[in-house]
Amino acid sequence: MADFTGKRGLVLGVANRRSIAWAIAQKLAAGGATLAFTYQGERIEKSVRELAESVSSPLLTECDVRSDEGVERVFSEVGDAFGGELDLLVHSVAFADARDLEGRFTDTPRDRFWLALDVSAYSLVSAARAAEPLMEAAGGGSILTMTYLGGERAVPHYNVMGVAKAALDASMRYLAWDLGRKNIRVNAVSAGPVRTLAARSIAGFPTMEAIVEERAPLRRVMRFIPKSPRCKLCNVPFAGPDRVFRLAGFGQSRKNPNMCTACFERAPVGGAEIEVGVLFGDVRGYTALVESASPEEAATLLAPFYRAARDALMRKDGSSTSSWETR
């Protein structure tokens, strides 16, 4: 493990424990680094605070990267917390309207185009500018951002985010040129399709994941992930090493084993036209049976019927909520 003892870092972009930024933060903290964190909005403050406290963070502060004043305030607080110096900056910030991550890139409206570039690309420039004096005071530093292949090639449905990543990549190179003379390194990591909360908003993400699984040169990770069974909607596997997907909230749903728990719970309720079927079962002689048998015996005899009915529902993506689903 790399030694980060004595290093001070700021991590931008942690949303929850599935965030790539959080995985990076854990490695840095395990190596001895002291980390400050930001969050964007009250909605995620609690989850980020819990994560920050788990690595004994001295600073958690709100940051809207679209505000120059907000960015300057954050780095002022970081300077106060770390004695006017900073060694590490992790920039894992990106956003595009979900409506622009499906359909055609051509249809992206002007306002949402600039929103994606502002949050996903210019935020690196503003953060690097604010970090520069702190890193210079520390004798140098390292800035890391997150990119993706969609900034180099056209990836279906990645759309405006791909353009934003292209701008991010170019910004990273120019920042590296400007700041290199002060011993400040600027790099980008392309992690490939990783199943984060943000990734789930990209239409066709499971297809992107499947292509990487098929074409990645080393295939060291993908070969440990089972091909089936998988969620019918998001394609996440239900098994695998250490049951990592189940622990992350993507385990197989008990109400519909064709879906993961996350997809089933987030499935839209109402407001859609669907085919509805009602199954009425007349089990001949059951009334007489329950009069002469115990409830346990009657349930045991009826369980095969329930299982057959449940399986028929599941094949059509129905769901069961009755107690017999566990029999």
Q: What confidence tens digit (pLDDT) does each residue in 23-48 have? A: 999 999 999 999 999 999 888 999 99
Residue 34 vs residue 314, higher pLDDT: 34
Res 325: pLDDT = 41
State yes or no: pLDDT of 191 exceeds 50: yes
Q: Which CATH superfamily is domain 8-191 in?
A: NAD(P)-binding Rossmann-like Domain (3.40.50.720)
Res 146: pLDDT = 93
Res 324: pLDDT = 42
Res 37: pLDDT = 98
Tens of pLDDT along 52-86? Answer: 999 999 999 999 999 999 999 999 999 999 999 99
Mean pLDDT within 214-242: 59
pTM of the model: 0.64
**Binning pLDDT at 50, 70 and 90, where does residue 197 land?**
low
**Binning pLDDT at 50, 70 and 90, where does residue 181 land?**
very high
Tens of pLDDT along 111-142? Answer: 999 999 999 999 999 999 999 999 999 999 99
Residue boundaries of the structural domains of the chain: 8-191, 202-267, 277-326
Of the candidate ranges 6-15, 46-55, 277-286, the one whose mean pLDDT is the lowest:
277-286
Distances 277 to 115, 274, 305 between C-alpha atoms, Å: 45, 10, 17
Residue 31 vs residue 206, higher pLDDT: 31
What is the overall mean pLDDT for the chain?
A: 80
Report the distance separating Cα 262 and Cα 256, nearest Å. 11
Question: Which of 96-100, 164-168, 251-255 is predicted most confidently?
Answer: 164-168
Q: Which residues are catalytic?
A: 148, 158
Res 322: pLDDT = 47
**Binning pLDDT at 50, 70 and 90, where does residue 218 land?**
low
Res 253: pLDDT = 79
Of all residues in the chain, the percent with pLDDT exceeding 90 is 48
State yes or no: pLDDT of 92 exceeds 80: yes
